Structure 1
Amino acid sequence: MKRLLLTALLATLLSAGYAQPAKISYGLHAGLNMSNLHSENSGIVSKYTIKPGLNAGIEVWIPLCSHFSLQPGLDYAQMGARYQAGETPRLSYKENYLALPLLVNYQVAKSGLAVYLGPQVAYLLNASSENKEGTTLSVAGYATKYDFSGIVGCGYYLQNGLGLSARYQKGLINVAQKAYLGSDGSVKNNGFSILLGYRF
């Protein structure tokens, strides 16, 4: 996974160096993550429900050719889910990630509308489980340190730089340590985000 992270960073630097002469633009965004966990034969929890969280970060648009640009970013993303294990009250599982999306952006004609897709590598900062009384327990030892996912989304930016975007994130690898899973079990992150941004 460290190699994936280094490859993504290298691709960003190379694209910046070899992109066609055009204006590189930068942006900020913040918004709501609606995240969940998808579990199969995990032997841990059979059903998770959506948990809201924060997504905030910076991004760069590096022109590649007509209508296409590379859109790397650096995000702080709160993921996780709500769940119930056995007879215990409902708990909230929280994951805080530092994420590096590397997206290919296509701008529709000369409008402010764009669609994008690409991979994302994320590093787990911490993970915790919280009950309804607010008692928090660190569970970072149960989680893997890296996540890898695919992203697809769309956005619309006005000429004054303000924009709104929506994206879907599909986890592609387990985010729970194998020691806590069944032989063929998996737990993966999924999420939907609504983001308000400013491009300058």
Structure 2
Amino acid sequence: MKKTFLTLSFAILFVLNAFSQVSYGVHAGISVYKVKDFIADNALAGFTGGVHAQVSIAKSFVIQPEVNFQMQGSRYNYLGFMGDIANVEFEDSYRFNYLNIPILIKYQIPTTTLNVFAGPQNGFLLSAKHRSTPKDFETHTYDVKDQMNSYTFSGVYGIGWDFPQPNNHKISLEARYSNDFTKLEKAASSNAKNHGFSFMLAYTF
């Protein structure tokens, strides 16, 4: 499915680029994610950022493809053992770094600077770490990438506020929600999936 989606996406963008007005930009911000149906299910904050293009296809509609680096994952706390020592407080986290490629359709709400958007997203797992931190002891980090699926397919939905600048440039604030449709873990018994919010500042020129 990922090969078909990417091939179709690039073909559409090539055609749109030839016949439409295109602008480019950068964006960055913070992501707050968690993994449902997973051992770690508390929110974990991280960085997100990337580049985007905006292709005008109608008066109020824009297609916005992006390439993003995004930190996702979850954290949790529990009491465990350190050798013979019982009831040690642990703060553990699962940290996943993704290369995400969403293709968003934006609708500019008439007479306002607001827009709403939605679209599919391909995600490629770059790294997956389990970090275990027992209180008053050394932190240990484990590579768990082999236990996770390397590809995810997601939906992205959000709202943005545009602030026009000289020379047709603009600054934008965005809030978006993303949820995976595919499973995080390879294990057949698992149904863990990433989901969370991102808040970003963007500059389009």
> Under a length normalisation based on structure 1, what TM-score does the superposition of the two structures give?
0.86
Instruction: Summarize the alignment of residues 168-179 of structure 1 with structure 2, pairs less than 5 Å apart.
Output: 168-178=177-187
| CA shift digits 1:5-45 (9 cap, x unpaired) | 45235324324414685421111100000000011xxxx62
Q: CA deviation at 1:109?
A: 1.3
More strand by share: 2
The answer to whether the 8 Å contact 2:31/2:71 transfers is yes
How large is the RMSD of aligned CA atoms in angstroms?
2.0
Alpha carbons 1:119, 1:150 under 8 Å: kept: yes
Counterpart Cα distance in 2 of 1:52 and 1:103? 23
Kindly indicate whether residue 171 of structure 2 is the aligned counterpart of residue 152 of structure 1.
Answer: no
- How far did 1:156 drift? 0.9
Question: Which one-letter code corresponds to 1:61 in the other structure?
Answer: Q
Q: Cα deviation per residue 1:141-187 (whole Å; 9 max; x = unaligned)? A: 11110111101001111112211100000111101012xx52xx300
Contact 1:20 / 1:64 at 8 angstroms: preserved in 2?
Answer: no
Question: For residue 115 of structure 1, what is the aligned residue in structure 2?
Answer: 116
Unaligned runs of 5+ in 2: 82-89
The residue correspondences of 1:16-165 to structure 2 (distance < 5 A) are 16-18=14-16, 21-39=19-37, 45=39, 48-84=41-77, 87=80, 89-132=90-133, 133-160=138-165, 161-165=170-174
**Matched positions, count:** 189
Q: Counterpart amino acid of 1:103?
A: L
Contact 1:54 1:77 in 2 (8 A): yes
Deviation at 1:137, TM superposition (A): 1.1
* Matched-pair contact (CA < 8 Å) for 2:64–2:105: yes
% of aligned pairs identical? 28
Partners of 1:20 and 1:65 within 8 A in 2 = no
Letter in 2 for 1:139: V
State the alpha-carbon separation in 1 of the partners of residues 119 and 79 from structure 2: 38
Tell me how far 1:90 sits from its aligned partner: 2.4
**Residue type matched to 2:173 in 1?**
L
**1:187 match:** 192
Secondary structure of the corresponding residue to residue 164 of structure 2: coil
Report the Cα distance in structure 1 between the residues aligned to 2:122 and 2:48, rounded to whole angstroms: 15
SS in structure 2 at match of 1:79: strand
Q: Helix, strand or coil: the match of 2:182?
A: coil
